[in-house]
Amino acid sequence: MKFKFFFLISLFFSLLAQATLSINDSHSKLNFFPESNEINANSENILTIEISMDKGWHTYWINPGDSGDPATFEWELPEGFQITGPIWPSPDKIPFPPLMTYGFDDQVILPFVLKAPKIIPKKFEIGLKANWLVCKEICIPQSGSGKIKFPYQNVSSLSNVQLKEIKTRTVQKINLKNFKVISDKNLETFNLSFDFPANVYESYFFPYEYGFINYAESQNLSKINSSYNLEITKTTDSKNLNSLSGVLSIKTQDGAFNYEINGDSKALIQESNINEISFFTALLFALIGGLILNLMPCVFPVLSLKIFNFIEKSDSPKEVKAHGLIFASGAILTFLLICSVILLFKYFGIQVGWGFQLQSPIFLSLLIFLFIFLSGFFISSLNLNVAFTGNAVSSSSGYSSSFFTGFLAVIVATPCTAPFMGSALGLALLQPSYQTYPIFLSLALGFCLPYLILSFNPKLISFLPKPGPWMENLKQFMAFPMGLTAIWLFWILSAQLNRFDLSLVLVGSLITIFIVWLSNLKKSELRVLNKLKILLIILSVISLTFFVPISSSSEESSKVVVINDTNEFEFQNPTFVNFTADWCITCKVNEARVLKSSAVLEYLDSNKIDYIVYDWTERNENISVVLESYGRSGVPLYLLFKGGGADAIILPEILTETMVLNALRDL
Amino acid sequence: MKKLLILCLLVSLNATALNIKDIKFINSEGKKVELSQIDSEIIFEWANLECPYVKRHYGSNNMQTTQEFAKSKNVMWITVISSAIGKQGYIPPKDAMNTFASFRSFPDHVLIDENGDLGKQFNAKTTPHIFIADKNKNIVYQGAIDDAGGSKFWTTDLNESTNFVRAVINDIKSKKPVSVSKTRPYGCSVKYG
């Protein structure tokens, strides 16, 4: 009974809330929300204005970009009152190639701060005159005015959706670690550099003022070691960056973050003259970095094989020389290939840095398989050269295997960044391509230098220990640094994938070990068995592709909610509810295959359907009650709410993408 | 050749030192115009008669009086419409002169730049957007027509705003260096295709 009564009262209030100050114009509507119904003397109050536009229309930010104008508000206040604002939220990019504008699609929520004086009248009025421009393809000015009487009779508070919108767009004081403005008079760009604890997939700087940046040019985000670098194109006659001000927006898996740069960047500016001085330093650093790279745990084992090779052939200096050269050319070509790939990415506007590979779960998984495979081979008695090139020719020839070792050495080197190398490559990637190549070349040379020196000075080889059984033992020991690297890569991968996909990678690793075991089997007398073995190896390698996760699927960013009161289990907005638990395989399969598919996520997002997860991994009485009320004793349970308190539609336990999309469309 | 052609040998755009003497185009009346053959200073006005900003400038007569002032000082006035066919503001070339005349605007030339070639060469962003070239065909001013842009635009009396175009013409005619050579253009985006 009590519940019903409360419901009636809230209905009464929500009806009254319709009377909130609203201004309608041809293509949009302005709504006014006070923080509370009363304004106390000597207080600060938030007044909020929401402009909601017809679908597809937008309005502009304080700096509209290449065209347009921001909304303006004129207030009529009783004596002693002061109003500041709007506090502009972080905008979106609204491109009209070749132009770029900044604004808000469909709706914008603008908070103001109203300061009340020490003495205020009992009743008073606030007048508002607003002008705003809405554009789709064309622009139409909108305007209107109204009066708001306080005390306010009809409180209507902001909805959760509106609050969420405010939260994701709120601009905070910049407090980023190592935030710097890096400028170079000679470059057409400047950089905002900052550290960020989470993985940033997109970042953009919105300047407050005209004349600092070229709006239409894309801003390129790159990652160098632990810091991010946003490259921004200046205008042809750029203002002094000392007074740069604007909003730096950072997007991560966990949401958006917006920071205000307040126009006093003097202390933050770092003049760099990368072009003039540091190119040669970069070359030198790259050379040293390449040298040090040899000692990294991921590379050293592979290279030790090469040295063994030299030792075994120490009686034939000519051959050693040839092998050294071919190995070096393999390594150098691979480095240049990687360099070209990076430049190609850069050309297409995809910003990558060294280590970009480690952001791709596909590449990471393949690397893990490779390292486990290598680890297996080191510990087994197989000859690596034979294994890779498939020809069991005596070690006296096999130039192709030397070339391949060079290639392999560079591939296994990719996860390792040696000291010096990072900064050199960081510089290299900021340079025009004619400077990037030399730096990579220098890195490659540094990498090969020890072998080139060895192979050209056969006398040096005689200083190395004589061949013997120690070589086999050392080789086997090398399996451990390789395994360690695989574990490290797996650890990185774990930040990008959910448990389900991670376990797939583990299964893949096991198959890799199976392949090693198969290849390691003694040759059988029966030819059929040998053929079967080869067939099995091929099949296993093919099956590996099923265990490579296609895209990153880190643990969901959706709301995980604890149910406190089961009576309130209804939703005002369209909502998809997922009851799940970590140990429920069906749930995880559904999530991986359907609920986290881009089609479903996009549909939920674009149609503003809330996605709520109730996690039952640890038993929760309240969730159990809800499950029971839908006739279930366990998870999964998928419910679809139309919103407005309507009953749920129950979806089957095993989902398909089409089924879910159809159900969502029927809402 | 009904279609308008910009016979270009356009210099690549460098906003601070843009020289336009190599630009040639065919105006809305089918006449070939070579800027190198023109002796006077030139004002380029990017227009779109359906854009509310342009409408307000024409409605308040501000654009027309600015144009009259320019012509009284022997400065050529070229109006460019870079709206693509089918987009807001596009006018077929044959109607162009009459349409502007109905607004009591009489530019020396109208260029219907439906492919946006000239607009992109100049980097014209908004309607209105003004470019002024001196006698040597160097761009000495680019930006807004006046300082009425931004929040106050809809409430300002445009005839009382500070008119940058008049100021530039006065500077040029009194052989002074142009004091304000670049401002933020304001208005609707140019409706490129």
The Cα of A97 is separated from the nearest Cα of chain B by a number of Å equal to: 8
CA angle B143/B148/B151 to nearest 5° reads 110
Rounded average pLDDT per 10-residue block, chain A, 667 residues: 39 40 86 78 84 91 88 89 88 86 91 87 87 86 86 69 79 79 76 84 89 86 82 77 85 84 63 52 82 78 75 74 86 88 71 58 85 85 51 52 82 68 63 77 88 80 72 82 85 79 91 87 78 88 83 50 56 83 70 82 84 73 73 76 79 83 84
Whole-number Å distance between alpha carbons of A505 and A523: 30
Q: Which of A66, A141, A211 sits opposite B154 (nearest CB)?
A: A141
Question: Taking 90 as the threshold, does the pLDDT of residue B111 lie above it?
Answer: yes
Whole-number Å distance between alpha carbons of A219 and A230: 6
> Which chain B residues are within 8 Å of A67, Cβ to Cβ?
125-126, 185-190
Please write the tens of the pLDDT for every residue from A143-185: 888 888 877 766 666 777 777 777 788 888 777 777 888 877 6
Whole-number Å distance between alpha carbons of A135 and B152: 18
Please write the tens of the pLDDT for every residue from A56-99: 899 999 998 888 888 989 899 988 899 988 889 999 999 887 78
DSSP letter at A116 equals: P
* Strands A58-65 vs A72-76: parallel, antiparallel or unpaired: unpaired
Q: Which element (helix H / strand E) includes A370?
A: helix A361-379
- State residue A302 phi and psi, 5-degree precision: -65, -40
pLDDT on residue A16:
36
More confident residue, B76 or A524: B76
Sign of CA dihedral A576, A581, A582, A586: negative
The reply to whether B55 touches chain A by the CB within 8 Å rule is no
pLDDT on residue A639:
87
Q: Give the chain A residue nearest B54 (alpha carbons).
A: A139
Whole-number Å distance between alpha carbons of A153 and A147: 14
pLDDT on residue A13:
40
Over residues B7-16, mean pLDDT? 34
The Cα of A94 is separated from the nearest Cα of chain B by a number of Å equal to: 12
**Ramachandran category for residue B123: left, alpha or beta (phi over 0 → left; psi -120 to 50 → alpha):** left
Is the pTM higher than 0.80? The answer reads no
pLDDT on residue A205:
92
Whole-number Å distance between alpha carbons of A305 and A405: 9
pLDDT on residue A355:
54
DSSP 3-state percent helix, strand, coil across chain B (nearest 5): 30, 20, 50
Q: Which of B15, B50, B189 sits opposite A66 (nearest CB)?
A: B189
The Cα of A135 is separated from the nearest Cα of chain B by a number of Å equal to: 9
Interface of A with B (CB under 8 A): 66-70, 72, 96-99, 101, 131, 133, 135, 137-141, 143, 210-211, 235-237
Report how far apart, in Å, the C-alpha atoms of A500 and of each of A382, A406, A618 are: 33, 35, 18
Cα torsion for A627, A629, A631, A637, to the nearest 10°? -30
- The answer to whether residues A167 and A159 touch, using CB atoms and an 8 Å cutoff, is no
The reply to whether B154 touches chain A by the CB within 8 Å rule is yes
Q: Residue written as tokens 């921001």? A: A70
CA angle B65/B67/B72 to nearest 5° reads 95
The Cα of B151 is separated from the nearest Cα of chain A by a number of Å equal to: 6
DSSP bridge pairs for A129: A74, A145
Please write the tens of the pLDDT for every residue from B158-192: 888 899 999 999 999 998 888 888 888 998 889 98
Selection from A663, A559, A657, A568 nearest residue A613 by Cα: A559
Question: Taking 70 as the threshold, does the pLDDT of residue B63 lie above it?
Answer: yes
Whole-number Å distance between alpha carbons of A461 and A312: 10
Beta strand spans in A162-226 (E) = 171-173, 180-183, 189-195, 200-207, 220-224
pLDDT on residue A185:
67
Q: Residue written as tokens 């230098």? A: A449
Count of H-run helices and E-run strands, chain A: 19, 25
Q: Give the chain B residue nearest A94 (alpha carbons).
A: B189
Q: Give the DSSP letter string of B5-48.
A: -----PPPP-GGG-B-TT-EEE-TTS-EEEGGG--S-EEEEE--
The Cα of A287 is separated from the nearest Cα of chain B by a number of Å equal to: 39
B40 CA to centre of own chain: 15
> Which chain B residues are within 8 Å of A135, Cβ to Cβ?
188-189
Omega cis (within 30) before A151: yes
Q: Which of B152, B155, B189 sits opposite A67 (nearest CB)?
A: B189
> Which chain A residues are within 8 Å of B149, Cβ to Cβ?
69
Whole-number Å distance between alpha carbons of A221 and B189: 27
Q: Give the chain B residue nearest A135 (alpha carbons).
A: B188
- State residue A647 phi and psi, 5-degree precision: -70, 160
Selection from A532, A215, A278 nearest residue A423 by Cα: A278
- Which ipTM did the prediction report? 0.72
Omega cis (within 30) before A98: yes
DSSP letter at A340 equals: H
